[in-house]
Amino acid sequence: MKWRDRKAGELRKEHVGERLALAGWAARRRDHGGLVFIDLRDESGLAQLVINPERAPEAAKVAHEVRNEFVIRAEGEVAARAPEAVNPSLPTGEVELQVDELEIVSRSEPLPFQFDEEHVDEGLRLRYRYLDLRRARMQRNLRLSAKVVAAIRRYMDEHGFVDVWTPNFTRATPEGARDFLVPVRLQPGRFFALPQSPQLFKQTLMVAGLGRYYQIAVCFRDEDLRADRQFEFRQLDLELSFPTREDVWETLEGVVCASFEALGREPPARPFQRLAWHEAMARYGNDKPDLRFGLELHDLTAETRGSEFKVFSQASSVQYLAVPQELSRAELASLEELAKEWGGKGLAYLVFDEEGEVRSPIAKFLAGEVIEAVRPEQPAATVLFAADEPLLVARVLSAVRNHLGRELGLIDETRDEFLWVSDFPLFERDEETGSWTFSHHPFTGVRPGDEDLLETEPGSALSQAYDLVWNGWELGSGSIRIHDAEIQRRVFRVMGISDEEAEERFGFLLEVLRMGAPPHGGFAMGVERFVALLAGELNIREVVAFPKTASGSEPMTGAPTPIPEEILRELGIEVLPQPE
Ligand code: ASP
């Protein structure tokens, strides 16, 4: 017996008169005084079954037993619907199956949520993920994801990139997160680290003469989960030998456009925009600015040096945003809260009314020239100031800018803005220890000409790193790498890694770089982030089949779980009692 002759969503007028079988889930059952209608759903869509007790008394009995999400099989004849029963919103809406035989193949317990419910609790959705995945939104997202991954692979293959699998049991690969560790039974007390990225392997593959490498690589990072972060995620990971950064950018732009095309969408204009990091920070306060709206930052540091207003004159940076409307007291108070959440002390403001009159508790402390310098062209406007360390000012005003962009509807949702940000500082201060640490990863190339700054002024050295940003989301990052062992050592030293420690942790890399290493560079793009944005989803959990919750659990299988004592003993592991 064949389970089905066609898929439900394929039925069309031209099939009228055909006898066939369909199989799938009962999406909905309606009883209409004798006649029973069932929407049968499979992976292709829905078809309407009609069970008429006069035509098929046995099937009618079975139909009464059918509940939502039972698996059923129906045999019958495709018939045209009466004109008044045509459903134009359904591709199969002109026809229905007049059922002769109906079988319940598999029953379902009562559902924990209804499929057409809009706001099902996420915990419940993840606990019953297989039911959630049956729903239209998740079906669409998983299929879209598969299409994008297929398009990426096609593009990479066509452009000479070799897909190489690299190990998941390896040594620490520093990308700024904690490692997930794997104990080794045969060598108790020793651990593999799961890769935060295949960074060192892909560099090694360039030294191995591969020329062009790519992989859809799974990466593991132990860090707090957020809307755009999971413990494990996939990257389109790639590396080229003898590249300029333009070669890398061109590859990524090609991948992005191929993905749009695979989804039948107009690809974004190429080349993508470019901004140097310092310019992105100066204009948007952010290294991943959303360029779909303006509301740029302005600097007022020089103008406020001699100000009576100490909050301004004593701050190392004073910047402002000119908002094109009068904000109410309540709005200002909530923006001030937002500024504090981002580490600011507050948010000073000047409100200019329709007549151009200024309303503000700080106006009396500001010189007339300063007020005139910030007065927006149009009346009815609000100027918001932050005064503090430059990076903090940037962080606060950028958060306010993004918030206002959304709240005031300044974002042009019809636009797609792709952007390359480059020329990042090579190092940044570790917030906890105050020492220099990498801003991307320790293998990022130094901007040619900045090598001498490594010892004298590391904070001023720029890197050869670049990020790809789409509508304010960082899609990924990459760089031209260090291919000289001596420079690599010097970079380690700036970060407080002694030559001995470098040898111990990265000796193999230093050796690789001494064995004929070609200049090389690459990139990694977060696949789930990219897919989520393509799907119009704000949370990557919506495009991951079985994601972890924000607290790092997987509710369907119940992982993670405790492990029996004897297994731990075999691994040489003892679990310390957990504080309450
Ligand atoms: N390994 C880097 C990352 O995972 C990407 C790269 O530099 O190619 O972010």
- Calculate how far, in angstroms, residue 273's C-alpha sits from the geometric centre of ligand 1: 21
- Of the candidates 65, 9, 8, 55, the one whose C-alpha atom is nearest the C-alpha of residue 35 is 55
Query: Does residue 174 surpass a pLDDT of 90?
Result: no
Measured at the alpha carbon of residue 477, what is the angle toward residues 472 and 481, in degrees to the nearest 5?
155
DSSP, residue by residue, 91-128:
TTTTEEEEEEEEEEEE--PPPSS-TT-S---HHHHHHT
- Calculate how far, in angstroms, residue 480's C-alpha sits from the geometric centre of ligand 1: 11
Cα–Cα distance between 416 and 476 in angstroms, integer?
A: 16
Q: What is the CA radius of gyration of the chain?
A: 30
Count CB atoms within 10 A of the CB of residue 50. Answer: 21
pLDDT in tens, 511-541: 999 999 999 999 999 999 999 999 999 999 9
- Calculate how far, in angstroms, residue 199's C-alpha sits from the geometric centre of ligand 1: 6
Measured at the alpha carbon of residue 218, what is the angle toward residues 212 and 224, in degrees to the nearest 5?
130
pLDDT for 548 equals: 95
- Calculate how far, in angstroms, residue 525's C-alpha sits from the geometric centre of ligand 1: 8
- Site to probe by mutation for ligand 1, drawn from 166, 199, 212 as the one with most ligand atoms within 8 Å of Cβ, is 199
What is the identity of the amino acid at 522? G
Nearest atom of ligand 1 to the alpha carbon of 197? 4
Name the 3-class secondary structure at 132: helix
Average pLDDT, stretch 107-126?
A: 94
With bands split at pLDDT 50, 70 and 90, how would you rate the model's confidence at 415? very high
Protein residue whose Cα sits closest to atom 1 of ligand 1? 199
pLDDT for 340 equals: 96
pLDDT for 378 equals: 87
With bands split at pLDDT 50, 70 and 90, how would you rate the model's confidence at 579? confident
Nearest atom of ligand 1 to the alpha carbon of 476? 9
Q: Yes or no: say if 277 and 287 are a contact pair by the CB < 8 Å rule.
A: yes
- Calculate how far, in angstroms, residue 477's C-alpha sits from the geometric centre of ligand 1: 6
pLDDT for 44 equals: 96
> Phi and psi (nearest 5°) for 571?
-90, -5
pLDDT in tens, 330-341: 999 999 999 999
Query: Does residue 146 surpass a pLDDT of 80?
Result: yes
Protein residue whose Cα sits closest to atom 3 of ligand 1? 524
Crossing angle for the helix pair 390-407 and 277-284, to the nearest 10 degrees = 60
pLDDT for 142 equals: 98
- Calculate how far, in angstroms, residue 143's C-alpha sits from the geometric centre of ligand 1: 26
pLDDT for 1 equals: 87
Nearest atom of ligand 1 to the alpha carbon of 219? 4
Tell me the residue length of the chain: 580
Q: Taking the mean position of all CA atoms in its chain, how far away is CA 172? A: 24
Query: Does residue 580 surpass a pLDDT of 80?
Result: no
Q: Yes or no: say if 413 and 471 are a contact pair by the CB < 8 Å rule.
A: no
- Ligand 1 neighbours (beta carbon < 6 A): 175, 197, 199, 235, 441, 477-479, 522-524
- Site to probe by mutation for ligand 1, drawn from 441, 480, 509 as the one with most ligand atoms within 8 Å of Cβ, is 441
Query: Does residue 345 surpass a pLDDT of 80?
Result: yes
- Site to probe by mutation for ligand 1, drawn from 173, 201, 475, 477 as the one with most ligand atoms within 8 Å of Cβ, is 477
With bands split at pLDDT 50, 70 and 90, how would you rate the model's confidence at 204? very high
Measured at the alpha carbon of residue 42, what is the angle toward residues 8 and 528, in degrees to the nearest 5?
130
pLDDT in tens, 211-236: 999 999 999 999 988 888 899 999 99
- Calculate how far, in angstroms, residue 444's C-alpha sits from the geometric centre of ligand 1: 9
pLDDT in tens, 351-378: 999 998 999 999 999 989 999 999 998 8
Protein residue whose Cα sits closest to atom 8 of ligand 1? 523
pLDDT in tens, 424-482: 999 999 888 989 999 999 999 999 999 999 999 999 999 999 999 999 999 999 999 99
- Calculate how far, in angstroms, residue 465's C-alpha sits from the geometric centre of ligand 1: 10
Query: Does residue 201 surpass a pLDDT of 80?
Result: yes
Which two three-digit tokens encode residue 287?
Answer: 């290294």
Name the 3-class secondary structure at 190: coil
pLDDT for 170 equals: 96
pLDDT in tens, 492-514: 999 999 999 999 999 999 999 99
DSSP code, position 171: S
**Strand ranges (DSSP E) for 198-296?**
212-220, 232-241, 273-276
Nearest atom of ligand 1 to the alpha carbon of 198? 1
- Site to probe by mutation for ligand 1, drawn from 170, 173, 203, 440 as the one with most ligand atoms within 8 Å of Cβ, is 440
- Of the candidates 232, 307, 329, 132, the one whose C-alpha atom is nearest the C-alpha of residue 552 is 232
> CA of 295: how far to CAs of 243, 426, 474, 542, in Å?
36, 28, 20, 31
Query: Does residue 95 surpass a pLDDT of 90?
Result: yes
Average pLDDT, stretch 132-154?
A: 97
Q: Yes or no: say if 260 and 268 are a contact pair by the CB < 8 Å rule.
A: yes
pLDDT for 33 equals: 82
Nearest atom of ligand 1 to the alpha carbon of 481? 7
| Cis before 271 (ω within 30) | yes
Protein residue whose Cα sits closest to atom 4 of ligand 1? 197
For the chain, what is the mean pLDDT?
Answer: 96
- Calculate how far, in angstroms, residue 420's C-alpha sits from the geometric centre of ligand 1: 15
pLDDT for 227 equals: 81
Protein residue whose Cα sits closest to atom 6 of ligand 1? 478
> CA of 446: how far to CAs of 514, 546, 574, in Å?
18, 40, 44
pLDDT for 477 equals: 97
